[in-house]
Structure 1
Amino acid sequence: MARLSATSTSCPVVRTVDLIGDRWTLLILRDAFDGLRRFNQFQRSLGIAKNVLSDRLSALVAADIMVTEPAADGTNYREYVLTDKGAELFDLMVGLRQWGERHAVAPGEEYRPLIDRTTGEPLERVIYTRPDGTPVRHEQTRLGELRGR
């Protein structure tokens, strides 16, 4: 079966998966949201081969999800920083984390929850709601007509 490419479909899910749907890319994004910025930090955290890390970081930069900038400490190092576009992936990453907390972590198994720095409490579950505050479930949605941005 031929793989759908991002350019052959107007489906936003296919296009997003094409950009960030690989294991290493998602883990790089997880680490970026956790504050990692330097190549060696990502490499140490993930245990990823340097060529694979370089490829994934280059793709994130090419997609304007991350940018490189001079290191904040004035050294000759470069740092990888999320762009506004990349920061918008936060909800997706929180949703993945929360699903994993509920379904991929065994009962009694320890994990580190994502904590709100203001309250000191774990984040509440991401739920999509209508303007009146009632939750929207998948069976209550449908695809609309084609539209442009």
Structure 2
Amino acid sequence: MKWDDLDKQPCSLARALSVVGDRWTLVILRDCFLGVRRFDDLEKRLGITRHVLADRLKKLVEHGVLYKTPYQQKPVREEYRLTEKGLALHPVVMALVHWGDQHMADERGAPIVHVHKQCGQFMQPVTVCSCCGEPVTARDIRVEVGSGWQDRSSELIPEKDCC
């Protein structure tokens, strides 16, 4: 499988990675969720080259994850805002942050914490079943071929559990 062909794979993860699957894109999205919207602010915060930042922002706009809106007219200057498609990535970003807090933080702990506005408590993301509401882990899931599967003879889905 070639990196440039990920968007053509019969796998939703591969297709998603074709849009958001590099480190710069994920930290750009992190900053967008933190309310950073302007090119110069992103460049300064991330220490990223203008070329790479422009490339990643262009791709996110092309794929409908971000949209540009003017904040100044003369000269026209635009900021980047999350679309509904972009906001739908919030659970993904939160899950990666949570993993980083658990497995990559130093002895000082998590660099930032998330507070649920409604109850005021510190929160951690939890994956739950959309039908019964019970928390689920990798051991609680069985994978089956879905209607979007193109090659039903493929061996991509093993018959044994993952763990």
Shift of 1:18: 1.2
1:49 paired with 2:55, answer no
In 2 relative to 1, CA 127–7 (structure 1 residues): closer, same or farther, beyond 3 Å? closer
In 2 relative to 1, CA 118–44 (structure 1 residues): closer, same or farther, beyond 3 Å? farther
The runs of 5 or more residues in structure 1 that have no matched partner are none
CA contact (8 A) 2:115 2:121 kept: yes
CA distance in 1, matches of 2:43, 2:9: 34
In 2 relative to 1, CA 100–45 (structure 1 residues): closer, same or farther, beyond 3 Å? same
Structural mapping, 1:19-30, within 5 Å:
19-30=19-30
User: Residue type of the partner of 1:124?
Assistant: Q
Shift of 1:122: 2.1
CA contact (8 A) 1:94 1:126 kept: no
Larger radius of gyration: 2
Shift of 1:107: 2.8
CA distance in 2, matches of 1:109, 1:137: 24
TM-score by length of 1: 0.87
Between the two proteins, the alignment pairs up a number of residues equal to: 146
SS where residue 114 of structure 2 aligns?
coil
Q: Deviations 1:30-70 (Å, cap 9, x if unpaired)?
A: 00000011001110110000000000000000000001011
In 2 relative to 1, CA 147–119 (structure 1 residues): closer, same or farther, beyond 3 Å? same
Could you say which residue in structure 1 is the equivalent of 2:85? Answer: 85
The runs of 5 or more residues in structure 2 that have no matched partner are 149-163
TM-score by length of 2: 0.80
CA distance in 2, matches of 1:110, 1:136: 24
CA contact (8 A) 2:43 2:49 kept: yes
Q: After TM superposition, what 4+ stretches of structure 1 lie above 4 angstroms from structure 2?
A: none
In 2 relative to 1, CA 118–145 (structure 1 residues): closer, same or farther, beyond 3 Å? same
User: Residue type of the partner of 1:3?
Assistant: K
What RMSD over aligned residues (CA atoms) do the two structures have, in Å? 1.9
